[in-house]
Amino acid sequence: MSITVLAVDDSRTMRDMLRLALSDAGFDVTLAEDGVDGLDVLAGINPQVIITDINMPNMDGFGFIENVRKTDKDRATPILVLTTECAAELKMRAKNAGATGWIVKPFDKDKLISAIKRVAA
């Protein structure tokens, strides 16, 4: 059975890279372009893993994570943060919001796939 992943990122290039890398690995990938769009998309799917950027317009990754954690349906869904940020205080803020893990861009395809498989298990 394929792992379903929701990837939320405002960069079209990053969304395309994620779709390509994850689809090639056999994952079912759904994309959203910011936190607001991510919540709308999430209402209609049941991903096993969510990947989100932090710096996005309309609703940033912190707000997105906090909103996801408020829903019964997705309260326990693993959320991986994929961002250019690496500050310890931002990592702690994401963890406190409910993030499962943190990956710094640019991502290593194999490490990302491994992380998704690990948290989806």
pLDDT digits (tens, 9 = 90+) for 22-41: 999 999 999 999 999 999 99
DSSP 33-66: SSHHHHHHHHTT---SEEEE-SS-SSS-HHHHHH
Domains of the chain, CATH where assigned: 4-120 (3.40.50.2300)
pLDDT tens digits, 46-70: 999 999 999 999 999 999 999 999 9
Pull the structure tokens for residue 73.
């349906």
pTM (2 d.p.) = 0.96
